[in-house]
Amino acid sequence: MSGERSTLVLGVGNSLLSDDGVGLHVLDAVRARDLPPDILLCDGGTIGLALLGEVAAAAALIAVDACNMGAAPGELRVFEGVAMDAMLRGTKRSAHEVALADLLDAARLTGALPAHRALVAIQPVSTEWGLEPTPEVAAAVPLAVDAVMHLHRTWSLTDA
């Protein structure tokens, strides 16, 4: 399958730090769905420039991460396009934002920034040691899956 027509869903986080791993939990929940062939899933872990190839090959990028937005525990917000860029360049709300911003900057510099991009952000409660998210964040996982699928459908219709 050609990456040029794909949506890359990048789950971000550390699965050993409770809510910090929510991006990976969302990725697992998306993986459990009957997915169209143009959705590619990637465990971004704590992100690195090694992911540039995957990002550059995609037409669209959806990153899912825990972000301290000063919101209610488990609240989900979606930042698209320039709003995502502004979120990543503003006050750092996630341990991974610097790395994600660097990854997108590298894609931009190489002329390979995905045409569509979004950050699905979930307000964490705890980033202490733990393998499972808190109940508030766990409750946001299905909402995040719905947001990912909605973004993909919307972008697919836009590009059709």
Instruction: Tell whether the model's pLDDT for residue 91 goes beyond 80.
Output: no
pLDDT at 2: 42
By the 8 A CB rule, do 58 and 6 touch? yes
In Å, the largest CA–CA distance within the chain is 44
What pLDDT band is residue 60 in, cutting at 50, 70 and 90? very high
What pLDDT band is residue 49 in, cutting at 50, 70 and 90? confident
What pLDDT band is residue 93 in, cutting at 50, 70 and 90? low
63: left (phi over 0), alpha (psi -120 to 50) or beta: beta
Q: Domains of the chain (ranges plus CATH)?
A: 3-159 (3.40.50.1450)
For the chain, the C-alpha Rg in angstroms (whole number) is 14
Instruction: Report the C-alpha gap between 147 and 142 in whole angstroms.
Output: 9
pLDDT at 160: 61
- Nearest 5°: phi and psi at 22? -60, -35
What pLDDT band is residue 139 in, cutting at 50, 70 and 90? very high
The structure tokens 């488990």 sit at 74
Question: pTM for this structure?
Answer: 0.91
Instruction: Tell whether the model's pLDDT for residue 81 goes beyond 50.
Output: yes
What pLDDT band is residue 89 in, cutting at 50, 70 and 90? confident
- Nearest 5°: phi and psi at 35? -95, 145
DSSP-derived 3-state class of residue 35: coil
- Find the mean pLDDT for residues 11-23: 92
**What are 60's two structure tokens?**
């669209």
